[in-house]
């Protein structure tokens, strides 16, 4: 099969790069920092100001993410990018401060609670199908549609009913934050301290301030009014306490965590959906199978949690989309002590990266890795757990993974049961990694009734 018959990918670099070139590439597309050999080797090391290693080996991943967690905290780059928006919340905190927040938040994401939130997802899927339906016969940017849909879900499960909560204003502020502040600057890559002002970040600051104030008001209002009839994430977090110490979150801690869920949860899930739609449009035979499964299971309804057991192929498509275009395509850690990874010397202070995009397309781990084949996931037990890390793994695995998968399957099944999506010639999306792996220019597909 030649490349023209494969879904879009990024040409990875084949030569050693200096700091200036890295700076240029990071501004353009962080994915272009990943050398092509990272899809063939277990580890690639280099020095760009700082010593770094890219690791694409399941055993080493297990060591970094699980067994030696304390030796590999999230890197300063990650924290510098995220802290101005979401404070010392679950995503950014380390050690004891991370641990108690994780223990307090975990029950909110228990299988029972995630299932109880499904009606919000079903309602958003129904509204998305109605919006898409009005555009039948035209090319539609499905990425924008999916961002709108997942934002509805996450804002409905965080701040439902908050009269003073202006959903559009929060969405605008979050987008400004992601667009402007998350662009990785050269200062971030070489690890300059957080107090060095970053121009773009300063521009987004006023929007963030008013968003935080709005969230604080919504939280205080909920404290006064008591829980909603079906508890949402805010109610569950308000109730949450660290079982070991009894500590509960303050308003500021609650707000930082809820904003974290919004930032970490909506664009990532929208990306999974947009890439999945691109892939099914790419492969009409897969789309036929997916439509048949969804139409038989749903009979014209929007999908709900009870339908999930009959939507196995839809789930495989989501799994494969997360392999080929992992929304969080790049995890980054700092080594706190000397170590050896894949036989390579790691020194204290080295940056250790897990380029998930390259791991998921590594030829040693995946046969024909650039090919779209949802049947790879027919038997989930056949997948090497640390070769497939769309949600990370170990104690810091994504707390929202089952929430995101449930939401993605509900929305994708609803859309594929009703519509047929086809590619628009000349409008292929280009994968670009900023903080997440985004389709530059959107995912434009032609929509027709199925
Ligand atoms: C397809 C959608 C999603 C993807 C691909 C994704 C991916 C990830 C990844 C890779 C990590 C680990 C980062 C690292 O180890 O450096 C993570 C952590 C996290 N995610 Fe997600 N995520 C998704 C959806 C969500 C949702 C829906 C929520 C919340 C509602 C969420 C909340 C979080 C939080 C709070 C963490 C930090 C957990 C901790 O450090 O204890 N994510 N996510």
CA of 400 to the centre of ligand 1 (A): 6
Buried/exposed code over 369-397 (b: 16+ C-beta within 10 A; e: otherwise): bbebbbebbeeeeeeeebbbbbbbbbebe
Using CA atoms, how far residue 288 sits from 3, 153, 230, 374, in Å, is: 23, 28, 37, 13
User: What pLDDT was estimated at residue 161?
Assistant: 60
Question: Rg (Cα) of the chain, in Å, rounded?
Answer: 21
Residue 195: per-residue pLDDT: 46
Q: Give the 3-state secondary structure of residue 240.
A: coil
CA 65/CA 397 separation, integer angstroms: 9
> HSE (CB half, 13 Å, CA atoms) of 244?
7
* pLDDT per position as a tens digit, 319-355: 999 999 999 888 889 999 999 999 999 999 998 989 9
266-313 pLDDT, tens digit each: 889 999 999 999 999 999 999 999 999 999 999 999 999 999 999 999
What whole-number distance in Å separates Cα of residue 272 and Cα of residue 321? 6
Low-confidence winner among 73-77, 122-126, 288-292 (lowest mean pLDDT): 73-77
Q: Are strands 344-346 and 43-48 parallel, antiparallel or unpaired?
A: unpaired
- For residues 235 and 262, give the distance between their C-alpha atoms in angstroms, rounded to a whole number: 16
- Show the CA angle centred on residue 65, arms to residues 60 and 70, nearest 5°: 110
Q: Which residue puts its alpha carbon closest to atom 3 of ligand 1?
A: 268
Centre of ligand 1 from the C-alpha of residue 402, in Å: 10
Would you call 190 helix, strand, or coil by DSSP? Answer: helix
- Measuring from atom 41 of ligand 1, which residue has the nearest CA? 396
Interatomic CA distance for residues 127 and 319, integer angstroms: 24
User: When comparing pLDDT for 298 and 91, which is higher?
Assistant: 298
260 CA to middle of ligand 1, Å? 9
Task: Determine the distance separating the centroid of ligand 1 and the alpha carbon of 397, expressed in angstroms.
Answer: 7
Q: How many CB atoms lie within 10 A of CB 420?
A: 18
Rounded average pLDDT over 357-376: 96
Q: Which of 264, 274, 386 to mutate to test the pocket of ligand 1 (most atoms within 8 A of CB)?
A: 264
Least confident window among 171-180, 185-194, 272-281, 410-419 = 185-194
CA 264 to ligand 1 center in whole angstroms: 6
**According to the model, what pLDDT value does residue 436 have?**
76
What gap in Å lies between CA 350 and CA 53, rounded to an integer? 8
Whole-number pLDDT of residue 192: 45
Give the distance (Å) from ligand 1 centre to CA of residue 269: 10
Residue 349 CA to ligand 1 center (angstroms) comes to: 25
**Atom number of ligand 1 nearest to Cα 322:** 5
228 φ, ψ (degrees, to nearest 5) = -75, 160
* Cβ atoms 66, 394 nearer than 8 A: yes
Q: What is the pLDDT of residue 52?
A: 83
Residue 393 CA, ligand 1 centroid: distance in Å: 10
Cα separation values, 331 from 73, 355, 370, Å: 11, 6, 21
Give the closest residue (by CA) to ligand 1 atom 26: 265
For the CA of 408, the nearest atom of ligand 1: 1
| Separation of alpha carbons 100 and 346, rounded Å | 30
- Interval 2-7 mean pLDDT: 72
**Class of residue 97 by CB neighbours under 10 A (exposed 0-12, middle 13-18, buried 19+):** middle
Residue of the CA atom closest to atom 25 of ligand 1: 265
Is 203 or 283 the better-scoring residue by pLDDT?
A: 283
pLDDT at residue 80, as a whole number? 65
What is the rounded CA–CA span in Å between residue 196 and residue 142? Answer: 38
The single residue listed with the structure tokens 């789930």 is 315
Closest Cα partner for 188 from 180, 178, 198?
Answer: 198
Ligand 1 nearest-atom number relative to CA 394: 15
| Of 311, 318, 305, 312, the residue nearest 115 (C-alpha) | 305
Q: Rounded to an integer, what distance in angstroms lies between the CA atom of residue 447 and that of residue 420?
A: 6
| Domain architecture of the chain: domains with CATH | 3-449 (1.10.630.10)
Adjacent-strand bridge partners of 47 = 51
Ligand 1, CB cutoff 6 Å, lining residues: 74, 90-91, 102, 260-261, 264-265, 268-269, 272, 327-328, 331, 390-392, 396, 398-400, 403-404
Is residue 276 within 8 A of residue 317, CB to CB? The reply is: yes
pLDDT of residue 15: 56
Q: Single out the residue of 322, 328, 73, 25 nearest to residue 178, CA to CA.
A: 328
Name the 3-class secondary structure at 255. Answer: helix
CA gap 175, 375 in Å, rounded:
35
What's the mean pLDDT when you consider all of the chain?
A: 86
Is pLDDT at 32 greater than 70 in this prediction?
A: no
């Amino acid at each position: 099969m030649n490349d023209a018959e494969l879904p879009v990918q990024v040409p990875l670099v084949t030569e050693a790069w200096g700091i200036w070139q890295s700076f240029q590439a990071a501004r353009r597309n962080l994915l272009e920092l990943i050398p092509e050999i990272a899809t063939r080797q277990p580890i690639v090391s280099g020095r760009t100001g700082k010593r770094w290693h890219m690791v694409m080996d399941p055993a080493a991943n297990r060591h970094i993410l699980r067994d030696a967690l304390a030796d590999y905290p999230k890197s300063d780059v990650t924290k510098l990018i995220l802290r101005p928006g979401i404070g010392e919340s679950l995503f950014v905190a380390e050690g004891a401060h991370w641990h108690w927040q994780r223990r307090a938040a975990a029950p909110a994401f228990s299988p029972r609670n995630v299932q109880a939130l499904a009606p919000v997802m079903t309602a958003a899927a129904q509204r998305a199908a109605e919006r898409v339906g009005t555009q039948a016969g035209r090319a539609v940017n499905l990425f924008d549609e999916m961002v709108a849909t997942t934002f509805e879900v996450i804002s409905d499960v965080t701040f439902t009913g908050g009269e003073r909560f202006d959903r559009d204003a929060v969405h605008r502020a979050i987008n400004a934050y992601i667009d402007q502040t998350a662009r990785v600057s050269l200062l971030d890559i070489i690890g300059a301290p957080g107090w060095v002002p970053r121009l773009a970040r300063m521009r987004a600051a006023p929007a963030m301030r008013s968003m935080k104030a709005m969230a604080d008001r919504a939280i205080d209002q909920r404290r006064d009014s008591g829980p909603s009839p079906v508890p949402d994430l805010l109610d569950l977090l308000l109730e949450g306490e660290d079982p070991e110490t009894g500590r509960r979150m303050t308003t500021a801690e609650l707000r930082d965590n809820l904003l974290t869920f919004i930032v970490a949860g909506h664009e990532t899930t929208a990306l999974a959906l947009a890439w999945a739609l691109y892939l099914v449009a790419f492969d009409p035979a897969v789309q036929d199978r997916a439509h048949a499964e969804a139409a038989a299971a749903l009979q014209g309804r929007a999908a709900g949690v009870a339908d999930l057991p009959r939507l196995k192929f839809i789930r495989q498509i989501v799994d494969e989309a997360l392999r080929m275009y992992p929304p969080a395509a790049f995890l980054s850690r700092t080594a706190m002590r000397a170590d050896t990874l894949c036989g390579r010397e790691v020194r204290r202070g080295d940056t250790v990266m897990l380029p998930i995009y390259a791991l998921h397309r590594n030829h040693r781990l995946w046969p024909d890795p650039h090919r779209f084949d949802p049947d790879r996931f027919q038997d989930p037990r056949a997948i090497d757990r640390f070769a497939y890390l769309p949600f990370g793994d170990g104690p810091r695995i994504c707390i929202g993974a089952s929430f995101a998968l449930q939401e993605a399957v509900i929305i994708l099944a609803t859309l594929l049961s009703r519509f047929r999506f086809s590619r628009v010639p000349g409008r292929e999306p280009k994968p670009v990694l900023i903080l997440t792996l985004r389709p530059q220019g959107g995912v434009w597909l032609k929509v027709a009734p199925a």
